[in-house]
Structures are given as C-alpha cells and as structure tokens.
Structure 1
C-alpha cells in the first residue's frame, strides 16, 4: 500500500466529517488489517490454534512498535504529542478491554456455545460499543487536549484530491482488495515455515508472519506522517490493532475443532500480556504527551516487544 491510501482516507475524513482519527481507525485500520485476517483464518482452518492466536496478538504488538519508528521520522516533536486526539485515547482503552477477553477465555477453556467460547462473542460486541462511544466523543467531547505550538490540528485540506466522493470510495475499495489478497498466501507460507523448520507456531505467528502482514500499517503510517495527517496515522495503527483484536473472535469461530483457547498453550497468555502492556504504555504516551522527539513510550514499547520475543525463544529452547 502506497501513500495514495492515506491521502484518499484523509480526503474522505474531511468530506464525511468523521475526522482523521476516526478515518484512520475505521477506514485505514480495516484495510490494512485484511492480510492479517486471511493469515489468522488460514491458521485456524488448518487446525493450528497457537498460530491462529499468535497472529492477531503479534500484529497488535508489531504495529505498536511501528509508532516508535514514526517517532524517529517525525523530527519536529513527539508524534503522540503532536497528534493530540481524545478519539485515539478512547480507541486505545477499548483495545485494552478487547485484549482482556482472551485472558478470561483462556482461564475457562472448556466453556462453549457450539464450538465457540462465549467470551469470544463478547469481542465484536465490545468493539461495536466502542464505536458508539467513539461517535459520542466526536460529537460531544467533555474535555480537550491542551494545544501547543507542536500540536497538529485536524483541519480540512481545501486543496485536497478533487475526485468525486464516490470515486474515492471505489479507490479505497480497490486498494483493500489488493491488500486482502496477500493474507491467504502469507498464512500458507507461515504454516510452511513451521512445518519445514520445526519452530513453534506461536513464535512464527508472533514475529515472522505478523511483521509481513503489518507492513501495510507501517507504509500507511509513514505516508500519513509525510503528508502531516498525524491523527490519521496514529488512528490507523490503533484502529488496525482493534481490528486485529476482532481477529481473535474470527480465530475461534473458524477453529472447527472446538474452542481455540482449549488447544492453545500458555504461550498465548505471554503474548496477550505483553501486547496489553505495550498498549497501556502507548495510551500513557498519548495522555502524557512528552514533547521531545522520542518519549518514554518510544523506548519502552520496543523493549517490551523484544523481551516477549526472547521469552518465546527461551520457551522454545
């Protein structure tokens, strides 16, 4: 995905009135998460519970690390400071709630409704309620972030793309179709790596395949930063993470052998815990808004990710 997708979403954000943060979360977040959806479903249908759960959790972790890279590229200030947005803070809190669901489900793996764990059914419900809160916050914010000279406001670009709104929607849909087609191939490739190397599927899912499926988020984030749409870029990452949390529901629903949590090892708790911790640090960074180029979150998030990978390697040894 190139810079055209953020530019298209940026114009749609202005024309629909949804704002950059919402457009990043709902439009770009959905589009860039499509490869991960394909990879997760391939793992579930293939009967590899660990791979199926590791992909969405790893996707959230890797995409959060991308924000540290964006901090390096945006030299004017800390990107979380410049993109002051209550919508992104709320979306992060919803994501933390979504990440808590697999932990609850893992503690009760034998509960089922059909072959799906009832906790998995709560994931889309919490996500939809989060969207309702998102819309309410957009319409009636109860407090606002303090503006500084480094704050980048979400203002309509009068000199933006002159294409019709219908054409912009079609353009975004075409880009989504291209991105979605890669998910199946990546999933098959990831399972092939597991079979050929003997590496734990959780490790492969948390690192290799998620780095590949998360590249659209990285490219989109960099493009958004380059055009100055910082709220759009961060919204894309956090919104994409929320869509990845929805993939946990898809992993369970498409795992036809029973509840995916009953067949996954305790490694899933390590992945869920470290990913939740990274999201908490990101949320703290959005609230504290350090002004220097790399804030505490820009250092802490990659450290947590590396520590999680090391622990996975130790378990595999």
Structure 2
C-alpha cells in the first residue's frame, strides 16, 4: 500500500488505514484519561478544569486534525459533519456512561457549577455556528467574521468556567449520591514532568492518527459512493470520539464522575472550534456557507441534545427509567432518530 498516494487506495486499503488509525486513537485516548486525572491532582487545577481543557482538547485532537485537513483539501462537508457529528455522538456517550454508573443518575451525582457553565458555553457556540450561514457570505483573508468570535467566546467561556470553579456564586445541594472532586494521593503518582511528557506524546499520537484518517475517510466515501456527511457523522465522528466513550466509562469506574462529565462537555465545547479552525484552513470562502443541509440538521440536533442535558444537570433526578436518567434516555432517542433520518435520506 502506498501511503504517499491515498488517491490510488482501494476501498479495502482505505478501510484498513481507517480502522488502524481508529484503534490507535482508542488506545491512546484510553491511556490519556489516567494521565489527565493525575495531572489534575498533581497541579491542583481540579477535575472539572482538567476535563474541560486537558482531557477535552487532547481526546478531540484526532478529530480536530481530521476536520482541518479535510477543509484544507476543500472537503467542507466532511470537515463540518465530522465536527458536529462528533459533538452529537459524544453527548450520546455521556448517556451510555450514565448506564454504567448504577448508584444514581450521572447528572445527579456529578452535579457541579463548572459542568453547567461548560454546557452553557457549548450551547452558545453551537448557536453561533447555526447563526453564521444567515450572515453575509464575506471573508477577510479567507476567514469569516464568526470564526474569531467563536475563538474569543471559547476563551472567555473557559475563563468563566475556571472562575465558577474557584469562586462559585451558588452550589448544588449535596446528597448522599453526590460525588465531589477528591484528589488522590499524589505521592503514589509519577513525577509531574513525566506526566506532562506522556501527555504531550499521547497528544502527538492522536494528532498523527487523525491526520491519517482524513484521506482514508475520503477514499471510503468515494469508493463506497457514500456522502461525506454520512462518512463524517457515522465513521470519522464516531471513530475519533471513541476516546471520549472509553475515557468517560473509565472515569466513572474510577469514581472520577466530575472528570467523566466535564471531559465530554469540555470536549464538545472544544469540538466547536473544529469548525472555526476548518474555516481558516478552507480556502474557497466561508465554510459556514458551504455547510450542507444535513450538517445544519446535526448542529440543530446537537443543540437540542445539549439543552436536554442542561435540564438534566439542573433537575438532578436521582433515579429514572431503568436506573438511567430521563434526560439520558431522551438524548439517546434523539441521537438514534438523527442517525435513522440521515441514513434514510
């Protein structure tokens, strides 16, 4: 197989590269969870901040590189659908993690101000993406004005999340099922420098795997005669989001519930920057105006799912249907409905 010439790959070759890269992303993403959890305790920044910034950004790196590479090659549909599809499936994964934690609903046990702030930030960023196509199709140096707004809103939002974590103006009611962030014994952990080196090395692996996924996904779309939206939502988004599923379940089993929730929501907020970065890489105008209707649909669906999650975090139902939160059930139904409509279309 000539990796230097993806255009000559067969469907089998493209599929092999795709699944190898997906496996690498899953393995590296699994390992990076433990490293981030230890960094949160070693540095004292807490699980919520570590989940939002370190875990969210690192586990999303593969998908980010894929979207930017696709945009650079002019594949706007794949770039945007991968970003928005990733947010949707990761929200779905949070509902799956709720099924794993049997003591109480995850929205109840992991209630925290930073998690709610992160979800509010995500809703605002998704709304900006949906708003952009209705603005004039103008760019400055090839970049639409919404892109710097997205970047600025994310940075300011993370500042608000950190401020809410350090000096919350209100706190959720503490119940016997509420699990708060309790640092582990740092004396039993590896040295801080070693943790940072391992963290950066794993991020590099995730980035390279994401870069290799893009040509493989394009080959699959072309050879199998599938739309780039289907490939982006059903293949690349799910494969690059495997770390979020694995890490959230691993964090739940470790008792790091705040990290599990903040890693998903923080990763979702970071994933909206895929679109901003893709707009910078896209050289044929505004990527927001190149979004197909299917991508707009997934942005709206993800916004709805995020709103349902926010209601669950506020409501804090202790036990729901089959020991799963009602909001988690609704999120799962919405995602599966979106998949059915996408495939049926």
- Using the size of structure 1 for normalisation, the TM-score is 0.95
Q: Residue 198 of structure 1: which of 222, 225, 228 is its match?
A: 225
Partner of 2:69: 42
In structure 2, do the counterparts of structure 1 residues 125 and 168 end up closer, same or farther at CA, with 3 Å as the change threshold? same
Partner of 2:249: 222
Partner of 1:31: 58
In structure 2, do the counterparts of structure 1 residues 193 and 241 end up closer, same or farther at CA, with 3 Å as the change threshold? same
CA distance in 2, matches of 1:6, 1:309: 28
Alignment of 1:134-149 (within 5 A): 134-149=161-176
Tell whether the 8 Å contact from 1:49 to 1:255 is kept in structure 2 after alignment: yes
CA distance in 2, matches of 1:109, 1:11: 46
Q: Residue 189 of structure 1: which of 199, 202, 216 is its match?
A: 216
The alignment status of 1:312 with 2:339, answered yes or no, reads no
CA distance in 2, matches of 1:109, 1:222: 43
State the 4+ residue runs in structure 1 displaced beyond 3 angstroms. Answer: none
* 92-101 or 176-185, larger mean C-alpha shift: 176-185
CA distance in 2, matches of 1:209, 1:13: 29
Alignment of 1:198-277 (within 5 A): 198-277=225-304
The alignment status of 1:18 with 2:45, answered yes or no, reads yes
Tell whether the 8 Å contact from 2:42 to 2:186 is kept in structure 1 after alignment: no
CA distance in 2, matches of 1:264, 1:233: 31
Q: How far 1:162 moved relative to its partner?
A: 2.6
Partner of 1:53: 80
Q: Residue 121 of structure 1: which of 120, 145, 148 is its match?
A: 148
Counterpart of 2:102 in 1: which secondary structure?
coil
CA distance in 2, matches of 1:251, 1:130: 20
Gaps of 5+ in 1: none
Partner of 2:90: 63
The alignment status of 1:110 with 2:137, answered yes or no, reads yes
Q: How far 1:10 moved relative to its partner?
A: 1.8
Partner of 2:329: 299
CA distance in 2, matches of 1:73, 1:23: 22
CA distance in 1, matches of 2:248, 2:136: 37
Gaps of 5+ in 2: 1-27
CA distance in 2, matches of 1:162, 1:33: 25
Partner of 1:168: 195
Instruction: Number of aligned residue pairs: give it.
Output: 315
CA distance in 1, matches of 2:40, 2:127: 30
Partner of 1:89: 116
Superposition CA RMSD, Å: 1.5
In structure 2, do the counterparts of structure 1 residues 13 and 66 end up closer, same or farther at CA, with 3 Å as the change threshold? same
What do residues 23-49 of structure 1 show as CA deviations (whole Å, max 9, x unaligned)?
111111111001101110121122121
Counterpart of 1:259 in 2: which secondary structure?
coil
What do residues 84-123 of structure 1 show as CA deviations (whole Å, max 9, x unaligned)?
2110100000001100112111112512222111112211
